[in-house]
Amino acid sequence: MAIESTLSRMRSPGDTTRVIRESRKEAMRVILEVLQGSRKGRTFMFDRHDTFIVGRSRFVHCSMPEDMALSRDHFMLEINPPQCELRDLGSTNGTFVNNQRVDRIRLASGDLIAAGQSVFRVKVDQAPLSSSDAGSPSSSGSRSEGDGLVAIRCAGCLTPAPQNITIAGPTQGDATEVVEWWCSQCRSESAVLPQPVPHYTTLREIGRGAMGVVYQARHNQTGQLVALKLIVPETATTRTAIDRFYREMSVISQLRHPNIVEWYEQGMTRGQFWFAMEYVAGPNLEALAKEQPGRYPTIQACRLTCQILKGLDQAHRMGFVHRDVKPENILIAQTTEGLLAKISDFGLAKSFRGVGLSGLTFSGEMRGTVPFMPPEQMLDFKTVTPLADLYATAATLYYLLTCKYIYDEPAGGGDLIRMLLEEQPVPLRIRRPDVPQPLATVIEQCLARDPNERITDASSMRRALKPFC
């Protein structure tokens, strides 16, 4: 299977270390040392946003099939240096951190993790940057005035930052480089009250999610209505990181298609990012599904999905992968010709995380994202192909038809990630018997666990759905 072959490349027999990039002069990295168990002596290093799963399954990153005290998928680490969070995946015998059984916990350097017969130690290691690494997207570190830097203060209230503050994002090695940071109080206030944005007047809140708050706003000069998204970075951020993020989003803003929400402009005010986008006066697809739960017309559902695939087809041809297609990110406009689906937030999550501006993905986005995420994206977080978008589109169509995820809700508070890695989707016709069997077959093919068994591109998937429109 493709997942197995991907992981086998990551775990070649001669490797003793999982190195994310060649350079060993990262400013900040998380190191996982195996102190006890069948993998004793192994070391895994992470210098950028990644996931790492331990268990008996052959598909996880640290596979120990001989340890019968482990569950198939025992625990997962999400790393975004210097942050590291552990999540127990509903294991039978539990995961222990410093001798305490845990379900989910933020880890610190020196913490000991016990699972099955194995013990791991977490280290957060800081190394000096070389000049060649100074512009790396994963560079991060801790700075203070004692290092010769200009004092870092909160962009909202000017409170001095802690001496050991962690700064994410690339740097130019300039000790006077501007660093944007928000204290916890200002961060909380910004989540309640929108900050003023140049050239725009905020009218009302449209919605909020893991990445920020969206408002309807009006451009002061043109009067144009826009959707204004406001995001506060999770960590202190260098101006170099911000500029790199702007460059990436400028490239993505060139993506123009009737089925993709248009990107107008972006900026930062008082440490808070703002993004002006096309305003779509309609619900998202999640709300549409809930209007007629489990009864949404099959023909209309397939038409909207084909529109989504048109937008994805152009994006994929231009080299862009969305990575987060889900009902919440599909906006529905009403036109003279009927409903029109538009994909929102194209490239935003990837670019934001890619330069170290976000925190830990699964801390805030678990239930909204995982049910639409293909298994290979969980296992290889960095390398995501267009096939991931097609899987997510099929899961979105499934949701529109049934108003349910492709998996049953975990019993007894079980873990969604474990279900993603181990369970098969519930057959569509069990949830919605009136769906034609040929359509159910197409959707289930697109939801195959093995990417090689899925329909290969957006255009082909659209052709497969056309007979049902």
- Give me the long-range contacts of 432-439 (CB less than 8 A, separation at least 24): 432/294, 432/401, 432/402, 434/298, 435/298, 435/401, 436/298, 436/468, 438/467, 438/468, 439/298, 439/302, 439/465, 439/468
Query: Residue 124 and residue 465: Cα distance in Å, rounded?
Result: 49
Query: Residue 218 and residue 431: Cα distance in Å, rounded?
Result: 43
**Which H or E run contains 418?**
helix 416-422
Using alpha carbons, select from 113, 106, 72 the residue that is nearest to residue 89.
Answer: 72
Buried b or exposed e, range 246-259, using 16+ CB within 10 angstroms? eebbeebbebebeb
**Which residues, at least 6 apart from 180, have a Cβ–Cβ distance to it below 8 Å?**
155, 233, 236, 237, 238, 239, 242, 268, 271
On the CB side of 177, CA atoms within 13 Å amount to 23
Please, are residues 183 and 236 in contact by the beta-carbon 8 Å criterion?
no
Please report, for residues 283, 298, 368, 398, the alpha-carbon distance to residue 286 in angstroms, rounded to integers and kept in the order given.
Answer: 8, 15, 10, 11
- Told to judge if 324 belongs to the known catalytic residues of this protein, a careful annotator would answer yes
3 state DSSP class of 61:
coil
Using alpha carbons, select from 87, 85, 84, 83 the residue that is nearest to residue 74.
Answer: 87
Query: Residue 439 and residue 428: Cα distance in Å, rounded?
Result: 9
Query: Residue 164 and residue 435: Cα distance in Å, rounded?
Result: 58
Furthest-apart CA pair in the chain: how many Å?
A: 69
Please, are residues 218 and 224 in contact by the beta-carbon 8 Å criterion?
yes
Please, are residues 241 and 365 in contact by the beta-carbon 8 Å criterion?
no
88, 324, 380, 389: which one is catalytic?
324
DSSP single-letter state for residue 94: -
**Which H or E run contains 395?**
helix 386-402
CB-count exposure of residue 140 (10 Å: 0-12, 13-18, 19+): buried
On the CB side of 4, CA atoms within 13 Å amount to 6
* Residue 46, both tokens: 């992470």
Catalytic sites, residue numbers: 324
